[in-house]
A and B are shown apart, each in its own frame.
Chain A
Amino acid sequence: MKVSRLLTWGGLLALAWLARGLVLPVFLAVALAYLLNPAVAWADALAIRRSVAVGTLYAVIISVLVIAGALLGPGLFTEAATLMDRVPTLARQIDAGINSAVRELSEVAPAIRRLLPEGGNWVQRFVLDRSPGEPGDLFEHVGHLFLLMILVPFFAFFMLRDMHRIIALAMNRLPSQHVETSVAVWRELNGVVGRYIRGVVLDGLAVGALAALGLWAVRVPYPLVLGGFAGLANVIPFVGPLLSAAAAGLVVVLTPGQGLAGVGRVVVLFLVIKVLDDTIIQPFTIGRSLHLHPALLLGSVVVGSHALGVLGMIIAVPVATVLQETVRLLVEHRRVLARRDLRQQTITPT
């Protein structure tokens, strides 16, 4: 019995190891399913069969994406292509700026020269090392991206269509006495994660649109690309807004004729967006789902970054929220059990 159980667990672990490449697509598919679930629930209320509802929803999304692509695609593509063409020049310019700063600093404090030798070309090396040098690398990156674009909606489709059946199956397998508490805990966590994912996406869309409009208004080049980046980076608390402001500031610094006044405008713009996001947008989007203390929020982002890099920074907040909610529910459960014990003591004759 023990050997067969060990073999089963060993087999499952080996299978999980072989399927580790599916972690990212499955994670993204779960996020997409959470995002689209309210629309499917709305169709449920109209007694529309799930496969029909999800299929129609996909058709609508594809149509919207095609129309958005036709409207925004050419501008976005031109901006991205121009920016990519300028990357080596931009990297050279940044390196020149760093070299000049190091030279000036080393005149004041010569020890700095040992730490930061002049002519290190840090940015150029970083950019050139990261860019896909060989055509094979390029095909691999495009292939991965293409696979994600196919797998994520594919998995999300089946999650949306069949999740209620899987839940029903699991509930019928659970011992009846544990169904109420265990499924209730799962429902609460499910609600928190769902609201958080939908909130983050809405928040990112709002921040991205505000940033793109604002950058276009203050005449910063590449407003669509920088706005899109601001929306995506907004998923990472604290670090994201700083990164998007830094990217826009860098573009302004390297654009002739913008000067320090341009940097000032970008800083003010991103401060205004941050204040608007914290006071008006987030209370309507993420507000109700996130009750993490700022210190826990920052700590979870740092731990996530150390454990899984950028993906870790993105999933840190929902994971920390789920852990906090689990602890809260366990404490609540213990409190209720303590009340039961007290009640049983009062009704039991002594």
Chain B
Amino acid sequence: MFERPVPRWLAWATDPEQLRRAPFLARSPLFSGLPRRLLARLATRFFEKDYNPGEVVFEEGDPGRALFVIVEGAIEITRATGQGVYVLNTLGPGDAFGEIALIDDFPRSATARVTTAGKLLILYKSDFDGLMEGNARIAVVVMRNLSRLLALYARNSPVLVTDADPAPRSAGQP
């Protein structure tokens, strides 16, 4: 309904916030392919919060419980290693981050910090789970998009050697 212009005589009864939010989410790679009706339902589950520069959205190791979509501003994603802090990515409007929290309850693998003041949409895991339970279509589409994103991350990530001195394998050992 948000792609069609609302008739002027109905404008008084419409919520401009919802009219703005749903098409915005449609442009996010995580939610692309969702039909308008489901996208509108998903949009109602988001919360909005203003952030100032320097504020930490979440820190590496924090419990992950929500997904964030940037409406305005910019976010820097960093990760601490033994050699120092590395900037993994800088995200802008329309980008989503923290999406892994929707599928597991492991701690955050990176830190998200606000670099330019802005607004974030927040979707909590419990709300997303509640929506998926009643809508298999949402689950299928979002999980497919999430798998694509994860595959992309995996392809772009360097191969890490976790064991510097592996024990030599004997013949016949898998």
Question: A: which residues have CB within 8 A of B?
Answer: 41, 44-50, 52, 167-168, 171-172, 176-177, 179-181, 183-184, 187-188, 191, 332-333, 336-337, 339-341, 343-344, 347-349
On chain A, the residues within 8 Å of B47 by CB distance are 167-168, 171, 183
B15 touches A45 (CB 8 A): no
Minimum distance in angstroms from A288 CB to a CB of chain B = 8
A180 touches B65 (CB 8 A): yes
On chain B, the residues within 8 Å of A341 by CB distance are 61
18 contacts between A and B (CB under 8 A): A47-B1, A47-B2, A47-B14, A47-B15, A171-B49, A172-B50, A177-B56, A177-B62, A180-B58, A180-B64, A180-B65, A184-B65, A337-B61, A339-B107, A340-B60, A340-B61, A340-B62, A341-B61
* B126 proximal to A (CB < 8 A): yes
Minimum distance in angstroms from B97 CB to a CB of chain A = 12
Question: B126-137, CB under 8 A of A: which get 1 and which 0?
Answer: 110010000000
Stretch at the interface among B26-34, B36-44, B146-154: B36-44
B61 touches A48 (CB 8 A): no
Closest to B107 in A: A340
A41 touches B66 (CB 8 A): no
A46-B40, A172-B49 are contacts. A187–B124 as well, Cβ < 8 Å? yes
Other than A45-B18, A180-B66, give 11 A-B pairs with Cβ distance below 8 A: A44-B15, A46-B1, A46-B40, A47-B6, A47-B19, A48-B13, A48-B14, A49-B12, A180-B58, A341-B61, A347-B80
Question: B45-56, CB under 8 A of A: which get 1 and which 0?
Answer: 001111100011
* Chain B contact residues: helix, strand, loop or mixed: mixed
Q: How many residues of B contact A (CB 8 A)?
A: 45
On chain A, the residues within 8 Å of B106 by CB distance are 336, 339
On chain B, the residues within 8 Å of A337 by CB distance are 61, 63, 107
On chain A, the residues within 8 Å of B56 by CB distance are 176-177
On chain A, the residues within 8 Å of B58 by CB distance are 177, 180
The complex places the Cα of A281 from the Cα of B2 at a distance, in Å, of: 38
Contact of A181 among B18, B65, B114 (CB under 8 A): B65
A172-B49, A187-B127, A343-B107 are contacts. A333–B63 as well, Cβ < 8 Å? yes
On chain A, the residues within 8 Å of B57 by CB distance are 176-177, 180
B124 touches A49 (CB 8 A): no
On chain B, the residues within 8 Å of A46 by CB distance are 1, 40
Contact of B13 among A52, A171, A177, A191 (CB under 8 A): A52
Closest to A42 in B: B41
B82 touches A347 (CB 8 A): yes
A177-B56, A177-B58 are contacts. A47–B122 as well, Cβ < 8 Å? no
The complex places the Cα of A332 from the Cα of B125 at a distance, in Å, of: 14
Minimum distance in angstroms from B148 CB to a CB of chain A = 25
A44 touches B18 (CB 8 A): yes
On chain B, the residues within 8 Å of A347 by CB distance are 80-82
Closest to A350 in B: B82
A336 touches B1 (CB 8 A): no
On chain B, the residues within 8 Å of A344 by CB distance are 61
* B95 proximal to A (CB < 8 A): no
**Residue of A41, A46, A52, A176 with most partner-chain B CB within 10 A:** A176
Closest to B37 in A: A45
Minimum distance in angstroms from A327 CB to a CB of chain B = 16
Q: 6 nearest interchain CB pairs?
A: A340-B61, A184-B65, A336-B63, A47-B18, A44-B44, A176-B55
